[in-house]
C-alpha cells in the first residue's frame, strides 16, 4: 500500500530540474523559444541568440521547425547550416594565405566554401551580386551546435564572425542569422564547458525548458498516440536524465520520438512474421530508447489497452464497488498494471472537467480498496 501511495505521489512531482543553474538566465518553453527564433529571423544582423538546454530536449529540432515554417511559398527556402563546433579546428573555417595587393603582399584568411560569405570589391553593383550569391536566395540560420564545448581557437574564430559578421576579409551574407546552442554546465560531466565571458556577452542568452504540453502539440501525428496518452499522466517519465547514469539511455523528447519509431517497426515485424506482440517484445523495442524501467510500464499500459474496454474504465467512476481491479501481486496489486490503469483513467477523461490531480485521489481509493 505504501509503495503504491509513493508511486502516485511521484506522478505529481518533477523528476528533473531543467532550469538553468544561473538565475540570471531566462528560462523559456517551446512556444517562447519559437518566438525568440522568429524575432531573430526578423533582424539577421541583430544580436545573435544562444540557446542553453539539457541534452535531448530538441533544441535543434525547434530551430529547424521554425525555419521551415518561416519559408514562404513561392520564394527560395531558408536554409539551415548545422555546424558541429566541438569537432572542428580553425582551419575548418578558413585557411591562411598570402595575396598580392596594390600595396604589396598581404596575409589573409580564405574562408572555406561551406561558409555563406562574400569578399567585397569596392564596386557596389558587384558587391550586391556577391552578397546575393552568399545568401543563396533567402539566407537562413548558421547554427553553432555545442559552441561551449568547442576549442578556444574555434570560439575565437566564431567571436569575430558573431561580433563583426566577418571571417578574414569576407563578410557573412546579410540574410543569415547566427544562432548557437549548447548543453548546460553539468549536463555532461565528461565534457569541459569553456564558454568565455567575451563570447557570451555577444549573445542574447536563454535556456530552453521543454514542457510536455508544448511538445505534445508538435508530436501530434508524429509520435504514436498511445505514447502521448501514457505520458499525459506519467509526466515524470517525459525527461529522466540522471547525472549518475553513464549509459546514456534516458527519456527525452528526442528519445520518445525514437521509441515511437521503434514501436512502429516492432508492430510491423510482428504482423509480417505472424508472431505475438508480447510485453517482452514491446519492452525490448522501446526500452533501447527510453530505458528498461519506463519501457516496462509503457508495455504494461499498451497491453492493458488491449484488454480493458471503455466500459471497464467507465465503471471505475460509475460503480467503483464493482469495478475491475488490476491483477494481484503478492499482498497488493501489480505496480506496472496499476500505473497503466491510472494512465488509462486519465487519458479517457482528458479535455473534460476531471484533471490528473482530481483523478488521483479517486484512483487511489479504488486501487487501495
Claim to verify: residue 146 and residue 289 sit in the same structural domain: no
pLDDT digits (tens, 9 = 90+) for 290-311: 999 999 988 988 887 777 666 7
d(CA 151, CA 144): 13
What is the percent of the chain with per-residue pLDDT over 90, rounded to a whole number?
Answer: 42
**Model pLDDT for residues 276-292, shown as the tens digit of each residue:** 999 899 999 999 999 99
- Listed in sequence order, the residues at least 6 apart from 300 whose beta carbon sits closer than 8 Å to its beta carbon are 279, 334, 336, 337, 339, 340
- Residue 241 resides in a domain: yes
CATH at 42: 3.40.50.300
Torsion of CA 221, 225, 229, 234, to 10 degrees: -80
Is residue 20 domain-resident? no
Give tens-digit pLDDT for 207-218.
Answer: 999 888 888 888
Count how many domains the chain has. Answer: 2
pLDDT of residue 12: 35
- Same structural domain for residues 216 and 185? no
- Of the candidates 157, 188, 208, which is a domain's last residue? 208
pLDDT in the model for residue 332: 52
CA 290, 3, 343 angle in degrees (round to 5)?
A: 50
Output the CA–CA distances (angstroms, integers) from residue 105 to 101, 124, 170, in the order listed: 6, 25, 18
By the 8 A CB rule, do 44 and 175 touch?
Answer: yes
Q: How confident is the model at residue 345 (pLDDT cuts 50, 70, 90)?
A: low
Per residue in 65-93, pLDDT tens?
899 988 888 888 899 999 999 999 999 99
Instruction: Please indicate whether residue 70 or residue 355 has the higher confidence score (pLDDT).
Output: 70
At what angle are helices 335-349 and 356-368 packed, to 10 degrees? 140
pLDDT score for 326:
66
Mean pLDDT calculated for residue range 328-332: 55
Does any domain span residue 326?
yes
What residues make up the domain containing 172?
A: 26-208
Grid coordinates belonging to 60? 535543434
Final residue of a domain: which of 208, 240, 270?
208
Angle (deg, nearest 10), helices 225-233 and 335-349:
100
- Decide if pLDDT at 37 tops 70: yes
One domain for residues 143 and 43: yes
What is the CA angle 323-344-318, rounded to 5?
A: 35
Contact (CB, 8 A) for 281 and 270? yes
Amino acid at each position: 500500500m505504501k509503495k503504491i501511495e509513493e508511486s502516485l505521489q511521484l506522478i505529481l512531482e518533477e523528476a528533473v530540474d531543467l532550469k538553468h543553474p544561473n538565475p540570471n538566465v531566462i528560462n523559456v518553453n517551446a512556444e517562447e523559444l519559437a518566438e525568440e527564433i522568429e524575432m531573430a529571423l526578423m533582424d539577421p544582423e541583430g544580436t545573435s541568440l544562444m540557446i542553453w538546454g539539457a541534452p535531448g530536449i530538441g533544441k535543434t529540432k525547434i530551430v529547424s521547425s521554425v525555419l521551415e515554417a518561416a519559408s514562404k511559398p513561392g520564394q527560395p527556402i531558408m536554409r539551415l547550416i548545422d555546424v558541429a563546433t566541438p569537432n572542428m579546428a580553425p582551419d575548418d573555417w578558413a585557411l591562411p594565405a598570402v595575396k598580392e595587393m596594390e600595396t604589396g603582399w598581404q596575409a589573409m584568411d580564405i574562408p572555406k566554401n561551406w561558409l555563406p560569405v562574400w569578399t567585397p570589391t569596392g564596386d557596389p553593383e558587384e558587391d550586391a551580386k556577391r552578397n546575393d550569391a552568399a545568401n543563396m536566395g533567402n539566407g537562413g540560420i548558421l547554427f553553432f551546435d555545442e559552441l561551449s564545448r568547442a576549442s578556444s581557437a574555434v570560439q575565437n574564430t566564431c567571436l569575430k564572425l558573431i561580433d563583426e559578421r566577418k571571417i578574414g576579409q569576407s563578410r557573412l551574407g546579410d540574410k543569415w542569422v547566427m544562432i548557437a546552442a549548447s548543453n548546460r554546465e553539468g549536463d555532461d560531466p565528461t565534457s569541459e564547458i569553456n564558454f568565455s565571458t567575451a563570447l557570451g556577452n555577444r549573445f542574447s542568452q536563454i535556456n530552453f525548458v521543454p514542457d510536455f504540453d508544448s511538445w505534445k502539440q508538435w508530436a501530434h501525428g508524429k509520435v504514436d498516440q498511445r505514447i502521448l496518452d501514457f505520458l499525459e499522466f506519467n509526466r515524470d517519465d517525459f525527461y529522466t536524465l540522471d547525472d549518475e547514469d553513464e549509459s546514456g539511455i534516458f527519456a527525452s523528447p528526442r528519445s520518445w520520438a525514437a521509441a515511437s519509431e521503434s514501436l512502429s517497426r516492432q508492430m510491423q515485424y510482428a504482423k509480417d512474421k505472424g508472431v505475438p506482440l508480447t510485453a517482452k517484445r514491446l519492452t525490448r523495442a522501446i526500452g533501447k530508447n527510453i530505458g528498461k524501467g519506463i519501457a516496462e510500464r509503457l508495455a504494461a499500459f499498451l497491453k492493458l489497452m488491449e484488454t480493458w474496454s471503455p466500459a471497464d474504465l467507465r465503471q471505475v467512476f460509475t460503480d467503483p464497488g464493482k469495478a475491475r481491479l488490476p491483477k494481484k501481486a503478492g499482498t497488493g496489486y501489480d505496480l506496472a498494471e496499476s500505473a497503466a490503469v491510472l494512465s488509462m483513467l486519465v487519458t479517457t477523461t482528458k479535455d473534460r472537467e476531471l484533471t490528473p490531480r482530481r483523478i488521483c485521489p479517486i484512483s487511489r481509493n479504488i486501487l487501495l480498496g
